[in-house]
Amino acid sequence: MKAEEIAVVVAPTEAADRHDTRRYLLLLLPALLTLAAFFVYPLLGILLRSVYKSGYTLESYRQVVSTSVYLMVIGLTFRTAAMVTLVALALGYPLAYVLATVRPRLGRVLVVIVVLPFLTSIIVRTYAWMVLLGRNGVVNQYLVAIGLTDAPLRLLYNQAGVVVGMTYVLLPFMVLTLASVMRGIDPSLVRAAHSLGASRWQAFRRVFLPLSAPGIAGGTLLVFILSLGFFITPALMGGPSDVMIAMLIEREVEFTLNWSFASTLAVILLVLTLIGFVAYYRLMRLERLFEGLG
């Protein structure tokens, strides 16, 4: 076949391909426009504002790095996020396991129960916890009644309270991510492990747990990143010293009206989150784990 002939044969399909691509782009357009207008543009605005204060300057960045209070808040934010993530994983893993391994109908009912809290406002849920954990709350009354403690415990307005409240809000994200991965694990693999002589623990440790690793990676990443930017729960349930970075940003915007400095803090939070994500991605070899699912 000569070149011209090939061109004639190929051209129509190429045109069709181009046409298809254009159609897909058209479908993407609303989402792209929305993202650009409401996400990329404001983000660029924040970036600009963080380095602009009657002239371009890195002054506010210098201020953050050189002020120990800001560094402490950043450290506390990451520590709280890590604790919430670990507690959510410890509580969520067994729950997700049940969710993924019970009969499908019961599984669906349990998923609805897990998702149910999402139907209520986060503020309502946080206030509910404050009622439960308060000095004369249900939990303390119970603990005193059964004689486990003489005086009411301080469960609120400290880091423990913040972790309890945030874990409660974020647990469904952990559970649903884990359960979706666990549901994809072929039950005959666990059976095979038993038939090969593995005890229940060995079958879990060597087969189920490694196969659920993508869920652990995904769930912890999601919860950790959501934790970093948390605002309402730590603001209401934390003590005066439990300031997280989002609360700091709010203060700069609402009270000091220092938008430039608030933008700086926001950019720092964003960059630290991205660094954490990349480090985590490298560490867990996420791409390999997800490949293993296919």
Partner 1 sequence: MAAPEGVRLGAEVRLQRLTKLFGPVVAVSDVSMTIPAGSFFTLLGPSGSGKTTTLMMVAGFVHPSRGAIAIDGVDVAALPPQKRDLGMVFQSYAVFPHLTVAENIAFPLQVRKVSAADIRHRVGEALELVRLTGYERRLPRQLSGGEQQRVALARALVFRPRVLLMDEPLGALDRKLRAHMQLELKRIQRHLHVTVIYVTHDQEEALTMSDRVAVMRGGRTEQVGTPAELYESPVSPFVADFVGESNFLDGVIVSTSAEGRAVVRVDGGFEVAGVSREPLHVGQRVVAAVRPEKIVPYEERAAELNRAKGVVDQVVYAGDATRYSVALGATAGTLTVKVQNRLGSRALATGDVVELAWDAGDTRLFARDR
| Closest-CA residue to 248 (of 266, 274, 227) | 266
Q: What is the signed CA dihedral for 161, 166, 169, 175, rounded to 10 degrees? A: -110
* Least distance CB 175 / partner 1 (angstroms): 23
Complex with partner 1: residue 18 or 205, whichever CB lies closer = 205
Complex with partner 1: residue 160 or 211, whichever CB lies closer = 211
Applying CB under 8 A, does 207 fall inside the site for partner 1?
Answer: yes
Applying CB under 8 A, does 198 fall inside the site for partner 1?
Answer: yes
List 42, 45, 75, 292, residue binding partner 1 (CB under 8 A): 292
The site string for partner 1 over 211-250 (x = CB under 8 A, - otherwise) reads x---------------------------------------
Which tokens hold the place of 272? 């630290």
Applying CB under 8 A, does 284 fall inside the site for partner 1?
Answer: no
Applying CB under 8 A, does 123 fall inside the site for partner 1?
Answer: no
Q: How many residues bind partner 1 (CB under 8 A)?
A: 20
The contacts of residue 132 (CB under 8 Å, 6+ apart) are 138, 139
* Least distance CB 203 / partner 1 (angstroms): 8
Applying CB under 8 A, does 210 fall inside the site for partner 1?
Answer: yes
Q: Is the dihedral of CA 119, 124, 128, 133 positive or negative?
A: positive
- Measured in whole angstroms, the distance separating CA 152 from the mean position of its chain's CA atoms is 33
Neighbours of 241 (CB within 10 A): 11
Dist. CA 261–CA 51, nearest whole Å = 9
Kind plus residue range of the DSSP H or E element containing 156: none
How far, CA to CA in Å, does 244 sit from each of 45, 228, 293? 23, 8, 36
Applying CB under 8 A, does 103 fall inside the site for partner 1?
Answer: no
* Least distance CB 291 / partner 1 (angstroms): 9
Helix and strand numbers, DSSP H then E, in the chain: 16, 0
Complex with partner 1: residue 136 or 188, whichever CB lies closer = 188
The site string for partner 1 over 157-196 (x = CB under 8 A, - otherwise) reads -----------------------------x-xx-xxxxxx
Dist. CA 191–CA 200, nearest whole Å = 10
Complex with partner 1: residue 147 or 294, whichever CB lies closer = 294
Complex with partner 1: residue 4 or 186, whichever CB lies closer = 186
Q: Where along the sequence are the contacts to partner 1 (CB under 8 A)?
A: 186, 188-189, 191-199, 202-203, 206-207, 210-211, 292, 294
